[in-house]
Amino acid sequence: MKELSVIIINHNTPSLTAQTVDSFIKSTQNVDYEIVVIDNSSDKEKVYEGCRDERVRVYKNIENKGFGNACNIGVKKSVGKYVLFLNSDTLMQEGTIEKALTYMKENITVGCLGIKTLLEDGSFDHGCKRGFPTPFNSFCHILKLDKIFPKVKKFGGYTLAYIPNESVSEVDSVSGAFMLIPRYVLNRTGLFDESIFMYAEDIDLCLRIKEAGYKVVYYGKAYMIHLKGQSGLHTKNKAVIRHFRDGIRIFYDKYYKKKHSPIVTFLMHRAIDINYYMTLLKAKIHG
């Protein structure tokens, strides 16, 4: 059994995927790992062909059923004691994997670990540590109370901006761009919810990990770079933005709809829809 399995999904971004694989190989030492790439590309010209390193294996997914589905396929084709879900638009840094693995081994109550993530310009990617989007947390975030009162913990329940970026802290959720999880935890909680095509599948899995009695931890002692402007929502693709809306709505209905009144659910659904149309507007997408 390998110590670590790295699961990467390629979707029409072979150059980015190659860059991520290369940075991981160059920056990671003294770890027995494998890299499993699941190719979800719809364009035959944008399939990731792999590299000469025998630790890298590529599988072509016949039908793209979403990010979570592809990750689940990757897990089933892997053998590592620990599983790392890693975005195809990231750049690993020297010693990051070693530090993250060491922390996990020394803290067996941790079921999922995320790390400090910086954007290409050096700014902090706030998505790498988050609270769950409960109605109250969402309300505070929409009204920007978390920004108006950044030191008030009650108002910052979603962005968790009050938690120092260099700290090691228990959180609700970390980003799917980097999720390090022991295989035995996944065996207990199950894999990603495939009803969520993409987005929100990471917070869904984090919630189930916490429900199973494990901790979700943000580890600010190691970092990576996320080329966020080159993939995902930032590609200004209407279908991608719609998947984000649908994922958040599925997550809300799954965990909070029965706990709140129909009025609260109505308002949450409308807020999700408004965010969808505002995102389309900002991306200058019409229709």
Which tens digit of pLDDT belongs to each residue from 206-254?
A: 999 999 999 999 999 999 999 975 555 455 677 778 888 888 899 989 9
Residue percentage of the chain with pLDDT more than 90? 69
C-beta separation of 114 from 87 below 8 A: no
Model pLDDT, residue 275: 78
Query: How confident is the model over 109-132, as a mean pLDDT?
Result: 96
Model pLDDT, residue 231: 54
Q: Which residue has the higher pLDDT, 22 or 247?
A: 22
| CA pair distance 40, 34, nearest whole angstrom | 19
Per-position DSSP letters for 95-113, written without gaps between them: THHHHHHHHHHH-TTEEEE
Model pLDDT, residue 132: 95
Model pLDDT, residue 279: 76
User: Mean pLDDT highest for which of 137-141, 272-276, 281-285?
Assistant: 137-141
Amino acid in the structure at residue 98: E
Model pLDDT, residue 234: 53
- First vs last C-alpha separation in the chain: 50
CA 13 to chain centre: 17
Fold of 4-134+158-233: Spore Coat Polysaccharide Biosynthesis Protein SpsA; Chain A (3.90.550)
Model pLDDT, residue 50: 84
Mean pLDDT of the chain: 91
User: Mean pLDDT highest for which of 175-179, 262-266, 276-280?
Assistant: 175-179
Model pLDDT, residue 218: 98
Model pLDDT, residue 5: 98
User: What is the value of pTM for the model shown?
Assistant: 0.92
Query: How confident is the model over 12-21, as a mean pLDDT?
Result: 95
Model pLDDT, residue 285: 59
* Residue range 128-174, pLDDT digits in tens: 999 999 999 988 988 889 889 888 899 999 999 899 999 999 999 99
Model pLDDT, residue 17: 96
Q: Which residue has the higher pLDDT, 116 or 247?
A: 116
Output the CA angle 285-279-161, nearest 5 degrees.
Answer: 155
Model pLDDT, residue 229: 58
Query: How confident is the model over 13-23, as a mean pLDDT?
Result: 95
Query: How confident is the model over 106-135, as a mean pLDDT?
Result: 95
C-beta separation of 175 from 202 below 8 A: yes
Query: How confident is the model over 69-94, as a mean pLDDT?
Result: 97
